[in-house]
Structures are given as C-alpha cells and as structure tokens.
Amino acid sequence: MADSTTESMTADTIATSQEISSTGPAVAGVNVVILAAGSGKRMRSALPKVLHPLAGRPLLAHVIDTARTLSPARIVVVVGHGGEAVKAAVSAPDIIFAEQTEQLGTGHAVKQALDALDTSVPTLILYGDVPLITSPTLRALIDATGTEDYGILTVTLDHPTGYGRIVRNFDDSVLRIVEEKDADAEIRAIQEVNTGMVVAPTARLTGWLNALGNHNAQGEYYLTDLVESALADKVGVRTVFAENVIETLGVNSRAQLAVLERAYQIRVADTLLDGGVTLADPARIDIRGSVQAGRDVFIDVNCVFEGRVVLGDDVMIGPNCVLRNVEVGAGTRIDAFSHLDGAKVGAQAVIGPYARLRPGAELAQGVHVGNFVEVKNATIGVGSKANHLTYIGDADIGSGVNIGAGTITCNYDGANKHRTVIEDDVFVGSNASLVAPVRLGKGATTAAGTTIWKDVEAGSLTLNQKNQMSKPGYQRPVKLKR
C-alpha cells in the first residue's frame, strides 16, 4: 500500500466529514478484497503491520469481521510481507489468499486477487490496516454505487497533506484523483480526499487493472487511476462521504495505532454506557473481547476485559481488575487489583482485593475469596469463605466452609495433581496444609498449623501433636555497637 491515498488514512489527521447518503438500490452480493501485503516499516517491528493488535486482536481480523457482516460472495486477502504469518493468524474456511510477491502499488495488489473473484457481483476494496471501518458505511457505499458504477468513499480533511485529492468538475462530478506528489498548488488546496476504499464492477475492474500504467512520481500502479478508466468507459463515478472520519483512519506507526486503540475503546465504552453500565471514566477501560452486562453494573477505572465476559445485574468491579473469559453473578463485588481468568462466580459473592481466580474456579452464591487468595480448578460451595493468604487448587469445597489464613491445598506431588475434598461446614484453622488426595468430612475442624495427610472423620477435631516450651526471663540478643 505505497501510494499515499491508499496507504490508509492516518490517525494523526484532524478531519471533518459529511454525512453518508445512499441513493442507489440495495446490492445483494459483493466480493471483498482486503489488501494486507505491506511491511509497515514505520512500525519498526518484525511483526507484519496488519497483525499488530488492536483491542487484543490483529488489525486485519477487525477488517475481516466487518467484511463478513456484508454477506460477501468472496473474501480475498492479498498478502505479501510476512504472508505465512498473516495466513496463520486469520485463516478460515471463508478466506481466500492471494500473493503479492512484489509491492508495486495498490493497483498491482488488487490485480493479484482477480482470479478468485466472482465476476457477477461488484468488488469492494478494503485495507487490512484500517480496522475501524463499519458495516453501515460500507453498505452505504455499496448501495450508492450499484452494480455498474464505480464508487469511492471520500472524506474532507482540515489538513489533507499526503493524500490523493478528489478533483471535481464544475457540475460536482469527479474528474480524477491526484496523488500528493503529482499535485500542483491548486490541487493541493483541495480538502476532499480519497480513503482508498472503492467499489467497482468486477468484469470491468479486470480490464482496467490489466491496462493500468505506472507513469507517475512513484513509478507504481495506482488504484486511484481507475477513476479515469471508468470515465473513459462512460461508467458513472459516485462518491460517498464517510460519516465519521475515525472509520477511515489507518495505522502506519505505533503512535497511530495508539490513537485508534483509544478510539475503539471509546466506541465500546459508549455502547456500555448506552446499555446502562456506569463507567467511572470511559477513557480508562480496555475491552479486548466482548462484555455482556446487566443493569446497574459499575466498573471503576483501569479495568481490562478479555475474551468473553458476562456480568449480571448490580455487579461492582473495583479499580485495576482484569477479567478474562469470566461469568459473574448478580450483586457480586470484585474489589481492586483482582485477576479472574476462566472462572465462574455466583451471585452475591465478594472477591478481593488482590484475589486471583484461575481457570476452572467455580464459586457459588455468597462465596468470599479475599486478599491474596488464589483459586484454581476448584469448586467452592454456597457461603464458604477463604478471606486471607490462601491457595486452593484442585479442590471441591462444600457450603458453609471456613478456610483459615495461610491454608494451602498441597495438590502436586512432583509428578501428578490430586484433589482435596472438603465437605459442608468444615472449619479449617490458619496455616493448615492439606496434602491431597485427602477428604475432610462434614463439620470437621482442623486446628491451626495442622498438616492433614489422612482423611478426617465428620464432626471431628484434628490436630498434630505439638510440644510448647517456655523459658522465663529470656533476654533477647542486643545488637552490638561498632
């Protein structure tokens, strides 16, 4: 994506825009070609540019997801730099890959996809580094263009330096697109620019690309030159203005990636707010997946959500928490600096602060897991509590159980994991070590500091033999002065 208009609109551009208007008939089907061959030198990274993450997923994955919403006839991704890595990252049954072995411009890139296209429907051209483009904007472009015309998505910029200008006739029809390097002062004063996203009739596109020349300042095959090809063939050229300029912005540097990351997060935050979630600060939340939230949910600052997160009504999440693939029941409170990963938490529970729930943790209603408590691959029954400095791993804990501070389940023998079973109403004293496999019967009590390596009978008190000695008049050592 070397020519300036189609290297993607960059996120350091301040812009204004006009509303989208669609006048053409709805188009049933479309090919989608996504250009993803560029190296992204300004990223200064070994990772192909289109694989840099936005909201935890590759830039290209966002574009593909949007393309799918259009029910396309074909999706063709043109790869080049780091092509094998790109294929591995986004490969799917509905994705066709085309190779651009030399980066000779956007026109040349689209040409590599021609053999994979359905010539009976138009072709939409997108860019793998423009992740925030939306389905409504693209649908408006497709429908305004129809099946026979050539359509261009444009935007008006306050500072259009670097982009191809839309040159119009006296009747407002499009004459051509002129790249920055090929423009004179009069054309550079034009503020309407090409975003690079276009729709074209596929059969004609093939002929235009085969006839494309590279007689320009960069010696490349410009996709923008197809406007003049279309006009020469008496094909109508339509333009649609992007409603929101942020949709047209691309990533060519890490600074621009950061701008789009925050724009994406604000978009998601607005959706949560509209759904009734209270955010302490919409600018300080990161969603790297999906969040499904009930009513009257409160989320404090600097929280990160990854994968699929489901929050019930009245859930409260304190600051600096991380939730990954988690379900949280109604009325549960998660206090500051807690990390939940692959866990399921029931209603009215209290988690944290500084708690860690690892994959396989399942907590029932009213469970308390407090500060510096870690739970992994374990179930904890209704109303049970582990409030301080505890490790519960590979365990099944009943209801009404109290786990004292400093208790650990010794689940690993150096080769294999074993389970600990604690039945209802057990009281485990502080600093107990439960050596699995072991079972503590219903209502049993273990004294503080006890090591349990045999099953404990229901209702019993278990303690280790202890000898305590006291020496009256003991004098503590005194630090010597030097």
Does residue 372 come out as left (phi exceeding 0), alpha (psi in the -120 to 50 range) or beta? Answer: left
Query: Cβ(377)–Cβ(396) under 8 Å?
Result: no
**Sign, Cα dihedral of 209, 210, 211, 216:** positive
| Per-residue DSSP letter, 26 | P
CA distance readout (Å), 72 to 68, 76, 152: 6, 10, 19
State the amino acid at position 447 in one-letter form: A
Beta strands per DSSP E along 294-419: 298-299, 303-311, 316-317, 322-328, 333-334, 339-341, 344-345, 350-351, 356-357, 362-363, 368-376, 379-380, 385-393, 395-397, 402-403, 408-410
Tell me whether strands 385-393 and 362-363 are parallel, antiparallel or unpaired. unpaired
Which of 81, 108, 339, 388 is catalytic? The answer is 388
How far apart are alpha carbons 140 and 23 in whole angstroms? 9
How far apart are alpha carbons 444 and 455 in whole angstroms? 11
Angle between helices 83-90 and 59-68 (to 10 degrees): 50
CA distance readout (Å), 134 to 13, 66, 95, 124, 248: 19, 6, 19, 13, 9
Tokens standing for 73? 């006839």
Residues ≥6 apart with Cβ < 8 Å to 233? 204, 208
Tell me whether strands 192-200 and 249-250 are parallel, antiparallel or unpaired. unpaired
Query: Cβ(240)–Cβ(139) under 8 Å?
Result: no
How far apart are alpha carbons 426 and 404 in whole angstroms? 11
- Concerning whether 159 is annotated as a catalytic residue, the answer is no
Give the burial class of 413: count Cβ atoms within 10 A of its Cβ; 0-12 exposed, 13-18 middle, 19 or more buried: exposed
Cα Rg of the chain, angstroms: 31
Catalytic residues: 388
